[in-house]
Amino acid sequence: MSLAKRTAAALGLGLIFIGSAMAAPQPRHDGTWSVRMVTDSGTCDSSYAYSIAIDKGNVRYLSGPGDAPTAVSGQIGPNGVVDLDIRRSIAKVDANGRLNGKTGSGTWQLAMLGCSGRWTAQKTSGSA
């Protein structure tokens, strides 16, 4: 193969790779989610509702008016596996489960108060 043909082939492959990188899809779980936690046991409130934003698997709490400061750490895996710590003051909730498409569900536990329950989530927008 001549130098000109090899250069043209390499350039063509480079453009294909650049084009596919630029058109890379947004991670499917990215966006804003509405979450509802229901208490099944313990002395915690019967339910909680809040919003989170997911960006490339990283989660942040979206506070509303009058909300106490809340921190969320952990990850949403590419396969939708949820493994989060939610902290408010000295309380730490462990939440696990899975997101699947535009919904999700799992369990949570607040060991220091002996509370546990389940959570459900609904995707409300495709951008965080």
CATH of the domain at 107: 2.40.128.120
| pLDDT of residue 58 exceeding 70 | yes
**Token match 């609904």: residue?**
122
Q: Which domain holds residue 83?
A: 31-125
**pLDDT value of position 69:** 79
Give me the number of domains the chain comprises: 1
Question: Do the domain assignments include residue 35?
Answer: yes
In order of 29, 60, 83, the CA distances from 100 in angstroms are 8, 19, 14
Residue 68 has pLDDT above 80, yes or no: no
Between the alpha carbon of residue 93 and those of residues 18, 35, 71, 78, the distances in Å are 42, 14, 10, 22
What is the model's pLDDT at position 1? 55
For the ranges 2-6, 42-46, 69-73, 90-94, the lowest mean pLDDT is seen at 2-6
Q: What is the CA radius of gyration of the chain?
A: 21
* 63 against 13, higher pLDDT: 63
